Amino acid sequence: MGPRLMILNVAASPLIACVLSAGLAYGQSPPAFPSPPAFPSPPAFPSPPAVPSPPPFPSPVNRAPIWLPVTTIEFVEGVPAVVSIRNFVRDPDSDPLVITLKSGALLAGLTWNPKNYTIAYDGLPMGAKPGAPIVTTVIFSADDGKP
């Protein structure tokens, strides 16, 4: 997958979010299911001789990093915060990733750290108004260094 577009918002008031999963309200646990009935143990048979397992095969094809569908990062004006861009991308082959800010300009008060892949907001006022966040758009890419 290619570069990922992310939109950064700095809002004037606190943001409130409620996450629903499978029809459950945030913090609500799914209903408990009854345990299946116990079955009698089968008769014991002698164990076959141990056979060494074959070595694992390497993945024949490298798979590209996958970006999560979240595309907006929001900061609340006056509240310092740090967000890791690493939380928005993963490599299906578990290869280490290098994340790069490809294009776009960060607003004053937002800082990109290419060593730990974070964006930090210093919390200083930026002039956001209620209902009118300050928005900037940046594009990141992730590379596992393999073809």
pLDDT at 84 over 90: yes
Q: Averaged over 125-144, what is the pLDDT? A: 89
Average pLDDT across the chain, whole number: 75
Long-range pairs for 103-107: beta carbons < 8 A, 24 or more residues apart? 103/138, 103/139, 104/136, 104/137, 104/138, 104/139, 105/136, 105/138, 106/8, 106/136, 106/138, 107/8, 107/10, 107/134, 107/136
Q: Which of 16, 7, 5 is nearest to 133 (CA)?
A: 7
pLDDT of residue 128 exceeding 80: yes
Band (pLDDT 50/70/90 cuts) for residue 70 is low
Q: What is the pLDDT of residue 7?
A: 61
The share of the chain scoring above pLDDT 90, in percent, equals 39
pLDDT recorded at residue 97: 96
16 in any annotated domain: yes
Least confident among 66-75, 91-100, 130-139: 66-75
25 in a structural domain? yes
Instruction: Give the pLDDT confidence score for residue 9 in this predicted structure.
Output: 59
Whole domain around residue 69: which residue ranges? 4-30+57-143
124 within some domain: yes
Q: For residue 51, is it within any domain?
A: no
Residue 67 lies in a domain: yes
Q: Is the pLDDT of residue 13 over 70?
A: no
Note whether residue 50 is domain-resident: no
Tokens of 46: 């002698």
Most confidently modeled range among 15-24, 28-37, 123-132: 123-132
Q: Is residue 31 very low, low, confident or very high in pLDDT (cuts 50, 70, 90)?
A: very low
| Residue 81 belongs to a domain | yes
Considering the domain boundaries, does residue 35 fall inside one?
no
Count of the separate structural domains present in the chain: 1
